[in-house]
Amino acid sequence: MRYADEFREGVIAQGLARAIAAEASSERRYRFMEFCGGHTHVISRHGLEDMLPTTVRMIHGPGCPVCVLPTSRIDMAISLVDRPDVILCVYGDLMRAPGSQGRSLSRAKAMGADIRMVYSTLDAIQIAERAPDREVVFFAIGFETTTPPTAVMIRHAEKKQLRNFSVFCNHVLTPSAMQSILGSPDVDNVGSVEIDGLVGPGHVSIIIGTKAYEFVDGFGKPVVITGFEPLDMMQAILMLVRQVNEGRSEVENQYSRAVTREGNLRAQQEISDMFEVRDLFEWRGLGFIPHSGLKLKQGYAQFDAEMRFALHEQRVAHNPACECGAILRGVKRPADCKLFGCVCTPETPIGSCMVSSEGACSAHWSYGRFRDHSRRQAP
């Protein structure tokens, strides 16, 4: 149990911090992006930035599934629940994600839409079984980690011959987004900051394996895959510093207690049996990224809510003052955004980075904004 020996953990963390400080050269900068929102959360929640030397800077990446969901997809879901026969099953975080014109699922629910917050995919199946005269739609989002459970759910529905059940599929692919950030960092003309290394996601990598990142090699960037304990993160940062110092750019696996090179082959098979890659998928803050989203294959069309209800994506303009795109590339910081903390807060998010606690702006608001006006005092 992680709380078994907190004191010892603290001592080890201090040791890792000293090692990072000793090995990071004062002559150069180390800019590392942690892709995954879970990692952003760990860094902010435990104040790990305070333990790094000034030359090491963490850039919070786009790896929070709610955050990267574009306005148009939220709008599609809202149009779905306008139909009185539809029950939409969602994970709680999605409720506040901003659609266009100040709309959200949370507001739609308050106005009478039948939206149920679920804790697992199984809940959605049960709801469909109990309400055979309603159309039950599961709002599926997430990276490779949550795709297999969606596949399992559809298999269940198939076996039970549920005719009133479908999935609004918004699953996205991690490697494509990484490639986009590293390879064409200039989308939306925000400029780019050189990224010196990537902290690779833990849970996603359990499914897709370290092999999936080996392309990053071509960009000459080190990648270290790591877990979700603060100590994992400190260790990963130390490994990245060492790779940079030694001029290496390898895919290293700090999280070998869970992640293999091949990943979970059965889960990969299940995904490729049921889903196919979309040509383009929009990411909030990053724009349209080729081959970065999944949809159900033709053979599963009856479970595809987009087909079933003829949903169409309407392009909508995002708030031009929102700097998410620049923040996700490390060009700007949350405090540089004019809306940060006045119009845009976790209660009233305007952009993607403020939506869930894993987003860069939300993490900075909830945990780190004291650094914008810091004056340290002993507790």
Partner 1 sequence: MRAKSYQSKLDVRNGFVELRHGSGGRAMSQLVYSLFHEAFGNDWLARGNDQSAFGVQTGRMVMTTDSYVVSPRFFPGGNIGFLAVNGTINDVVAMAGARPLYLSASFIIEEGYRLSDLKTIAGSMGEAARTAGVNIITGDTKVVERGKADGLFISTTGIGVLPDGLDLSVDNARIGDRVLVSGSLGDDGITIMSKRQNLPFQSGLVSDTAPLHDLVAVMVTAGGSGIRVMRDPTRGGLAATLNEIANQSGLGFRLREEIIPVKPTVAAACELLGLDPLHVANEGKLVAIVAPETADAVLAAMKAHALGCDAADIGCAVEDDHQFVQMLTRFGGERIVEWLSGDQLPRIC
Instruction: Verify binding: residue 337, ligand SF4, rule CB under 6 A.
Output: yes
Are 289 and 73 a contacting pair, CB within 8 Å? no
Are 30 and 57 a contacting pair, CB within 8 Å? yes
Give the separation between CA 334 and CA 348, rounded to whole angstroms: 15
User: Which range in 36-44, 79-87, 248-256, 337-345 contacts ligand SF4 by CB under 6 A?
Assistant: 337-345
Strands 223-225 and 280-283: unpaired
When binding is defined by CB under 6 A, the residue of 89, 108, 311, 339 that contacts ligand SF4 is 339
User: Quick check: helix, strand or coil at residue 361?
Assistant: helix
Least Cα distance to 38 among 119, 142, 140 occurs for 142
Site string for partner 1, 15-54 (x = CB under 8 A): --x--------------------------xxxxxxxx---
Tokens of 128: 């469909």
Nearer to partner 1, 269 or 370 (CB): 370
CB under 5 to 8 A by kind: which of partner 1, ligand SF4, none does 293 bind? none
Strands 30-36 and 287-290: unpaired
Rounding to the nearest 10 degrees, give the CA dihedral for residues 50, 358, 331, 172.
140
User: Which range in 122-130, 219-227, 292-300, 322-330 contacts ligand SF4 by CB under 6 A?
Assistant: 322-330
Site string for partner 1, 47-86 (x = CB under 8 A): xxxxx-----------------------------------
Q: How many CB atoms lie within 10 A of CB 379?
A: 2
Tokens of 358: 């894993």
Task: List, in sequence order, every residue forming a beta bridge with 30; answer none if it has no partner.
Answer: 56
Nearer to ligand SF4, 266 or 338 (CB): 338
Instruction: Verify binding: residue 96, partner 1, rule CB under 8 A.
Output: yes
Are 11 and 234 a contacting pair, CB within 8 Å? no
Site string for ligand SF4, 268-307 (x = CB under 6 A): ----------------------------------------
Instruction: Verify binding: residue 369, partner 1, rule CB under 8 A.
Output: yes
- Rule CB under 6 A: which residues touch ligand SF4? 322-324, 327, 334, 337, 339-340, 344, 350-351, 353-354, 361
